[in-house]
Structure 1
Amino acid sequence: MKHYTESTDKQFAKEIIESAPQQSKAWLSFDKEVHDVQTSIPTKYKELISIGIALTTQCPYCIEVHTLKAKEIGITQEELSETIMIAAALRSGAAVGYGLLSMKFFKDTEE
């Protein structure tokens, strides 16, 4: 095994879909409904939101898919950069948030 994640790993999606067809169909349908159906949130915003979430969940496949789709529909480098920085701010904020929990555990042992 060269790397834990590689772009070519997407080839294994076929096996997952074949091995869990009902669940895969439901998930793919849900994903399509969320991303592809026109709603009050424009597609451009949906893709920028998806990139931000993919960055915080650290899913390389989602980062690739949503970045390329967003570029295809015309996002700018500046919009991508701002999305990256929003994700970075939220991710660091989450560390502080979980730090509160850590402090709580620390303080609870003093009682």
Structure 2
Amino acid sequence: MYDMNHLKKLGTLGKNAEQAMKAFQQLDQTALADGVIPKKYKELIAIAVALTTQCPYCLEIHKKHAIDAGATQEELSEVTFVAAALRAGAAVVHGTHLMNN
């Protein structure tokens, strides 16, 4: 199912929902632009989210952008464990729903 070649179909998707696609692209560009939070950090955040949502497309795209923004292999490694800690933490706190008291 996951094939980076599917990204070539974004043009068709955008053509079929032009206004929504333009709005999404503007949001994406604005949210990830260099700002108070530097672009490199935004891309590392995007990678952590992509690891948590397990989106291979986002991982590939934001890994490239993070490296282009100066992210190191060590930073990519650390962000992996930040995402892992948050996923594990979510499982633990959701476990409280299983408790009687």
Please classify the TM superposition score into its range, dividing by the shorter chain length. Answer: over 0.9
Name the structure 2 match of 1:11.
Answer: 8
Task: Name structure 2 gaps, 5 residues minimum.
Answer: none
Q: Does 1:88 align with 2:65?
A: no
Residue 7 of structure 1: how far off its partner (Å)? 1.1
Residue 62 of structure 1: how far off its partner (Å)? 0.7
Name the structure 2 match of 1:75.
Answer: 71
TM-score, normalization by structure 2? 0.92
1:100 partner letter = T
Q: Does 1:29 align with 2:6?
A: no
Distance 2:60 2:11 in 1: 18
Segments ≥4 residues shifted beyond 3 Å: none
Deviations 1:56-108 (A, max 9, x none): 0111111111101111122111111000010011011111122222x15xx39
May I ask how many residue pairs the two structures share in their alignment?
101
Deviations 1:12-34 (A, max 9, x none): 21111011001111111011110
Q: What is the percentage of aligned positions where both structures have the same residue?
A: 44
Name the structure 2 match of 1:44.
Answer: 40
1:53 partner letter = V
1:25 partner letter = K
The RMSD of aligned alpha carbons is: 1.4
